[in-house]
Amino acid sequence: MRLYGTDIASRLMLGTAQYPSPAVLAEAFRRSGAGIATVSVRREAGGERAGAAFWDLVRGLGVRVLPNTAGCHSVREAVTTAQMARELFDTPWIKLEVIGHADTLQPDPFGLVETARILADDGFQVFPYTTEDVVLAGRLLDAGCEVLMPWGAPIGTGLGLTNLYGLRTLRAQFPGVPMVVDAGLGLPSQAAMAMELGYDAVLLNTAVAKAGDPAAMAEGFARAVEAGRLAFAADPMEPRDMAAPSTPVLGQAFLE
């Protein structure tokens, strides 16, 4: 998988929030083989760098860091947070979130496009958290984004892929654009389904961090992502409305 000119071995991305302990977080990353860790800038405090211990933990994971603007509800807030993230984590990568609805945490499409354009013009490599809206996706690409991250379902719900038609249409509309299903996944089977649709990766947090055994769940998602990608690459059979015998009938004996 190639994102903004960088090759990433794993197609699984994991968040770093809500784990019961740092040790569990580290073990989940180890067993998943995840190639990217998303980190909220709000975990780091200015001045005395109260979050230094957490940052040391993340660096110890040995993965690419994708800071995000989680919790931002305005263009100004998201731009400021992204600038802080670039200074703090020394990376042009930013997962852009501009939340427009408090209950569903659905992105604000207007603020998202405006912020993406501002950040892209400032040299950021933007990973926008968006919906499966095809028009919005086109606007984000025009704004300078080279990756799209549509949701599967609202953040933290575990509902899976709630709009298969929309996700399938989006993937087909922009076949050459790297796309990551971000948010709403609750089970490895849902991640496999996203990969079977042709998506390049999945990003999740709550489904692993809140599992009874986060490390085992992380490994389960890793295997599902690999299986889904293999299935997509194998060119699956088309579904049929009628049964078709798997054993040929030609040459069979007929008794009268």
Per-residue pLDDT reduced to its tens digit, 24-76: 999 999 999 999 999 988 655 544 455 677 778 888 888 999 999 999 999 99
Short-list 36, 17, 11, CA closest to 125:
36
Say if residue 69 carries a ligand binding annotation: no
Helices (H), 75-213: 75-89, 109-121, 134-142, 164-173, 188-196, 206-209
In this predicted structure, what is the pLDDT of residue 256?
A: 64
pTM of this prediction?
0.90
Instruction: State the first-to-last Cα distance of the chain, in angstroms, to the nearest integer.
Output: 60
pLDDT over threshold 70, residue 117: yes
- DSSP letters along 32-49, please? HT-SEEEEEGGGS-SSS-
Choose the catalytic residue: 11, 95, 117, 229: 95
Say if residue 120 carries a ligand binding annotation: no
In this predicted structure, what is the pLDDT of residue 247?
A: 77
DSSP 239: P
Cα 198 from Cα 166, distance rounded (Å): 13
Short-list 173, 118, 109, 174, CA closest to 143:
118
Say if residue 231 carries a ligand binding annotation: no
Say if residue 68 carries a ligand binding annotation: no
* Under 8 Å between Cβ of 42 and 24: no
Query: How open is the CA angle 104-106-111, to the nearest 5 degrees?
Result: 145
Per-residue pLDDT reduced to its tens digit, 231-244: 999 998 888 888 88
In this predicted structure, what is the pLDDT of residue 43?
A: 53
Annotation: CATH topology of 2-234:
TIM Barrel (3.20.20)
Instruction: Please give the average per-residue pLDDT across 2-7, as a whole number.
Output: 95
Say if residue 163 carries a ligand binding annotation: no
pLDDT over threshold 70, residue 112: yes
SS3 65: strand
- Which whole-number Å values give the CA distances from 179 to 47, 113, 174, 198, in the listed order? 36, 17, 9, 9
* Under 8 Å between Cβ of 215 and 28: yes
Which strands sit side by side in the sheet containing 149-150, from one edge to the other? 149-150, 125-130, 93-96, 64-68, 36-40, 12-15, 201-204, 180-182
E strand or H helix at 216: helix 214-233
Q: Please tell me the number of Cα atoms within 13 Å of 81 on its side-chain side.
A: 25
**210 included as an active-site residue:** no
How far is C-alpha 64 from the geometric centre of its chain's CA atoms?
Answer: 14
